[in-house]
Amino acid sequence: MNKLNINSRIVLNNKVEMPTIGFGVWQLSEGEEVINAVKLALAAGYRLIDTAKIYKNEEGVGKAIKESGLPREEIFITTKLWNTDQGYASTLKAIDESLAKLGTSYVDLYLIHWPTADGDLKIKKSFNKREETWRAMEEIYKSGKAKAIGVSNYTITHLEEMKKYAKIPPAVNQVEFHPFLYQAELLNYCNENDIVLEAYSPLMHGERLNNETITNIAQRYGKSNAQVILRWNLQLGAVPIPKSAHQEHIIENIKVFDFELKEEEMKRIDNLNQNLHLRFDPANLE
C-alpha cells in the first residue's frame, strides 16, 4: 500500500488504467470558475477529471484541458449520462453532445448517472430504462467513444440485475462513500465482481470534517482531516474524487501519498459509519 503514489493507476476490468484519485467538478460553474479549478488541479498533479452533463460545465472542463497543454491521452475524463437522456437512441445522442462540449473524440469513462430515468430523484416508483440504456452504453464502448463504461449510484440489487442483461460488465460504480457512509458490503461486492468503486462526496461535502477521531489521527501525521479521509479511501482501494474551488484545498487533497494509516487507524475510521446518505439513497430507486 505504501507504494501508492501520485502516478499510481488502478486497472479496470477491460485493462484500461485509471488514476487512483480524481478531481470532481460538481457545483463549479461553467466558465472561469471551472476552467481555473481544473487548470489548478492538473497543475497539482490530478489526471482524472469527473464531470457530468447535469453539472453544465463540460465545455469549461474541455477548455481547461486544452489550455493546460497536457496531451489528451495523459488525462482521464469521466462524464455521465443524465437520467432524462436514458433510453437507447437518446443515450447515443447524449454522448455525442457531451463529446462536442468537452471538445474531444472520446471520454475515458462514461457512466449512467443514476439507476432511474426520472429527473426527480425523490420519486420512488421511477421508470426504469436500465437495460436499453446499457445496450446503448455497450454500443458507445464498441465505437471507441468511451474507453470504459460504468454506472453510478447502483446498489448491489441494481448490479445483480445487470448480470441478466449486460454483455459488457460495468468497469466502475461511482457511489457516495465516506467515513459516515462506509459501504463495506458494496465495496466487497465490487471487488469480487471486478468493478472499481469510485467514491463521490469523499469529504462529506465539506460538512462534517471536524470529527474528533479523524482529528486525533490527523494530528499524529501532521495532516489535515481531509487528507486522512482521502488516504482512508485510497487504502481501501476506493478512488476518491474530491471537489474544491480553492487552490489551497485542491493542492492539499492530492498530498496524500506521503503517509500511511495503520490498520488500527483504518478500523477506527471504518467504525465511524452511520449509513448516512448526505443527499439521496439510491436504494429507494426501484
Binding site for ligand NDP (CB under 6 A): 24-26, 50, 113, 152-153, 174, 200-206, 209, 224, 226, 241-246, 249, 252-253
Three-class SS state of 21: coil
Query: At closest approach, how far in Å is the CB of 50 from ligand NDP?
Result: 4
Contact by Cβ (8 Å): 253, 209: no
DSSP for 154-222, please give it.
--HHHHHHHHHH-SS--SEEEEE-BTTB--HHHHHHHHHTT-EEEEESTTGGGSS---HHHHHHHHHHT
DSSP for 83-145, please give it.
GGG-SHHHHHHHHHHHHHHHT-S-BSEEEE--S-S-S-TT-SS----HHHHHHHHHHHHHHTS
Three-class SS state of 18: strand
Query: At closest approach, how far in Å is the CB of 224 from ligand NDP?
Result: 6
Q: Measured from the CB atom, is 140 or 230 closer to ligand NDP? A: 230
Q: Measured from the CB atom, is 142 or 206 closer to ligand NDP? A: 206
Helices (H) then strands (E): counts for the chain: 10, 10
Query: At closest approach, how far in Å is the CB of 3 from ligand NDP?
Result: 24
Query: At closest approach, how far in Å is the CB of 254 from ligand NDP?
Result: 10
Q: Measured from the CB atom, is 50 or 58 closer to ligand NDP? A: 50
| Among 46, 55, 110, 154, the one annotated catalytic | 55
Q: Measured from the CB atom, is 112 or 166 closer to ligand NDP? A: 112
User: Is 141 an annotated catalytic residue?
Assistant: no
**Catalytic sites, residue numbers:** 55
